[in-house]
């Protein structure tokens, strides 16, 4: 099966940029890195990248996910009982106001150029 990818933005609630930056850095190189890696391996996620983008309407997180089965991976993020995944959902609710347990519809892809 080929790798599927998805990119999307989610707004950061006012005052939450530094909270999100710190949490994501702890997942990348800090005290949550091992748990994050174990979670993503279990969910079949092969790549996860997050950027913070300032906009005139406030900061947003730009997210890229890759997995062989994105539907399964996203469902796992929303429904896993593993401690890291429970923490991650609570973090997303706190900094983005998004309840991943309630589902997160993927964005509509309207263009895809590949050479």
Number of alpha carbons in the 13 Å side-chain half-sphere of residue 52: 17
Predicted local distance difference test score (pLDDT) of residue 74: 94
Confidence label for 71 from pLDDT (cuts 50, 70 and 90): very high
Predicted local distance difference test score (pLDDT) of residue 90: 98
What residue segments make up the domains of the chain, in order of their start? 4-100
Residues 13, 57: contact at Cβ < 8 Å? no
Global pTM value = 0.92
Percent of the chain at pLDDT exceeding 70 = 99
**CA 104: distance to chain centroid?**
11
Q: Which residues pair with 108 in a beta bridge?
A: none
For the stretch 22-48, pLDDT in tens is 999 999 999 999 999 999 999 999 999
Residue listed under structure tokens 């991976």: 73
For the stretch 78-107, pLDDT in tens is 999 999 999 999 999 999 999 999 988 888
What are the start-end ranges of the H helices in the chain? 17-28, 33-43, 70-79, 83-96
Q: Which residues pair with 7 in a beta bridge?
A: 64
Q: Which fold has domain 4-100?
A: Alpha-Beta Plaits (3.30.70)
Taking residues 44-53, what's their average pLDDT?
A: 98
Taking residues 48-67, what's their average pLDDT?
A: 97
Predicted local distance difference test score (pLDDT) of residue 1: 64
Asked whether the CA dihedral 75, 79, 84, 88 is positive or negative, the reply is positive
Residue 75 CA to residue 8 CA, distance in Å, equals: 16
3-class DSSP state of 60: strand
């Amino acid at each position: 099966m080929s790798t599927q990818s998805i990119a999307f933005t989610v707004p950061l609630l006012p005052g939450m940029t530094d909270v999100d930056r710190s949490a994501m850095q702890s997942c990348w190189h800090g005290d949550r890195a091992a748990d994050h890696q174990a979670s993503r391996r279990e969910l079949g996620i092969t790549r996860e990248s997050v950027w913070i983008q300032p906009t005139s309407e406030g900061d947003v997180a730009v997210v890229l996910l890759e997995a062989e089965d994105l539907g399964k991976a996203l469902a796992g993020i929303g429904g896993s009982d593993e401690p890291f995944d429970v923490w991650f959902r609570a973090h997303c609710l706190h900094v983005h106001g998004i309840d991943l347990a309630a589902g997160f519809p993927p964005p509509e892809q309207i263009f895809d150029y590949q050479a």
